[in-house]
Amino acid sequence: MKVSYHGHSVVLVESKGKKIIFDPFIKGNGLTDLNADTLEVDVILLTHGHNDHVGDTVELAKRNDALVIAPFELATYLGWKDVNVHPMHIGGAHTFDFGTVKLTQAFHGSAYTEEESQKIIYTGMPAGILLTLEGKTIYHAGDTALFSDMKLIGERNLIDLAFVPIGDNFTMGPEDASIAAEWLQAKQVVPVHYNTFPVIEQDPNEFAANLSGKKGKVLEVGESIEL
């Protein structure tokens, strides 16, 4: 199984012929190496409804006939746009043909902004995502503050690879993300959600170096990890 990072919070998992992408913010993402017009995906996992996470979901889902898995309100909104959706909610898990998805809590907002009409569409609660496949568990924290139940997530799940935001301002900063990494007890921790915009500029290498046990791993855009 190959897991690659593509700027902001975009993570691509390739497993047994399936391509599963988290939060595909591509157009408008100056850091990504992906092309939304040619990218092939089978499954889209969304943590919440902010535009820089929903990104190119509708286009990708329609062109690839991909399944979109998201919190209920966000899935409902996308379903109205003729996208194939599977709604879930926090605490719930479901086993698909590619693996098992479970939503965890996250402390953030979740709304889609329609700029032209100046409307903000409520899209339910934000979430983190536990993805288990090929006997490995990947945790994508989504956008979140530090919260103490990360200890419980770490205690109840053997996490092989965790993606945690470090950008600050909108999410945890590096200091809180370091605590999150300890609580999650993941074997490897990769920082995400940084440097896309000036207000979230951070040094990912410094963050990774400060984690105990040499478990911090910075992935350059397009770089991958084999699990």
CB 48 within 8 A of CB 126: yes
Q: What domains are there in the chain, each with its CATH number?
A: 2-217 (3.60.15.10)
Question: What is the residue-level pLDDT of the chain in tens, covering all 227 positions?
Answer: 999 999 999 999 999 999 999 999 999 999 999 999 999 999 999 999 999 999 999 999 999 999 999 999 999 999 999 999 999 999 999 999 999 999 999 999 999 999 999 999 999 999 999 999 999 999 999 999 999 999 999 999 999 999 999 999 999 999 999 999 999 999 999 999 999 999 999 999 999 999 988 899 999 999 999 99
CB 43 within 8 A of CB 131: no
Q: Under 8 Å CB-to-CB from 213, ≥6 apart: which residues?
A: none
Q: Model's pTM, two decimal places?
A: 0.98
Please count the helices (runs of H) and the strands (runs of E) in the chain.
6, 15
Separation between Cα atoms, residue 199 and residue 205, nearest integer Å:
18
